[in-house]
Amino acid sequence: MEITPSILTADFTRLGETLEEAVAAGIDWIHMDVMDGNWVANRTVTFGPALIRSVRDRLGSEVTIDCHLMITNAVETWNQYVGAGVDMVIAHFEAVDNFPALIEALHGAGAQAGCVLNPNTSAEQILPLLPDLDLVLVMSVVPGKGGQQFMPEVEDKVRAFRAAIDAQIAAGGRATKLMIDGGIKHHNAAMVSEWGIDIAVVGSGLINDRGTIAENLSAINAALG
Ligand code: DX5
Ligand code: ZN
């Protein structure tokens, strides 16, 4: 299972150094949480395309950058994130009326398309989109901030996506990636990996004052065995 850092718990005045530290520790994917103060329940505002552009320029083209859009107007603004250098736009199923049209637009612009669903959104609604999705993200917390408690009740949903993706691949279809986000730490990483997760977002479990990113990452990798 791959690990990608969420930067919400980082000191933004040292973000460049922190991300270079992550890359030096073996990280090759950065998860950028965009909140517009409208869509998430606690009205959090994080950052936008300008910061993402700086991160892309600092890290170069080798690192994969996604943006997790927790915003009301992903359909009107996705091109600003692609223009800022993201490889993948991950939009919330609950915030987009015509998801197939968004996928088509992203692919048309040469970007990858991801769909993320809240803990209380069922897998059934997203399964028809799977053949065209590069990634599905299962939230294991209610979006809005880092450091929240992991919700184990998403297990069945993760397993349902795993089975559907494996059947899709076996039939010669797209190798859609399966990601999880929220409350992932060294003590539950192996469990979600066993559920079938390909890549886990880790925020407060990786960027904290208990250890360096390399130390925290090696604790997670040790747990993964
Ligand atoms: C929450 C974000 C997550 C969060 C993860 O809305 O989408 O990416 O920052 O942080 P931890 O791992 O601390 O739950
Ligand atoms: Zn996220």
- Token pair of 200, please? 């886990």
Task: Dump pLDDT digits (tens) for 143-166.
Answer: 999 999 999 999 999 999 999 999
**What confidence score (pLDDT) does residue 96 get?**
98
Ligand 1 proximity of 201 Cβ (cutoff 6 Å): yes
Of 36, 181, 198, 209, which one is the catalytic site residue?
181
Catalytic, 134? Answer: no
- What separation in angstroms does the CA of 177 have from each of 3, 111, 130? 13, 15, 10
Q: What is the mean pLDDT of the chain?
A: 98
Site to substitute for ligand 1 among 135, 141, 202, most atoms within 8 A of C-beta: 141
Question: What is the DSSP secondary-structure string of 35-55?
Answer: EBSSSSTT--B---HHHHHHH
Average pLDDT of span 66-95: 98
> Given pLDDT bands bounded at 50, 70 and 90, which one contains residue 175?
very high
pLDDT value for 219: 98
- Whether 181 is catalytic is yes
pLDDT attached to residue 24 = 98
For residue 205, give the nearest of 173, 183, 175 by alpha carbon. Answer: 183
Q: Would you say the CB of residue 146 lies under 6 angstroms from ligand 1?
A: yes
pLDDT value, residue 107: 98
Q: Would you state the pLDDT for residue 37? A: 97
For the CA of 144, the nearest atom of ligand 1: 6
DSSP 150: P
Contacts with 46 (C-beta within 8 Å, 6 or more apart), sequence order? 8, 33, 34, 35
Average pLDDT over residues 134-151: 97
pLDDT given for residue 57 in this prediction: 98
Helix, strand, or coil (residue 187): coil
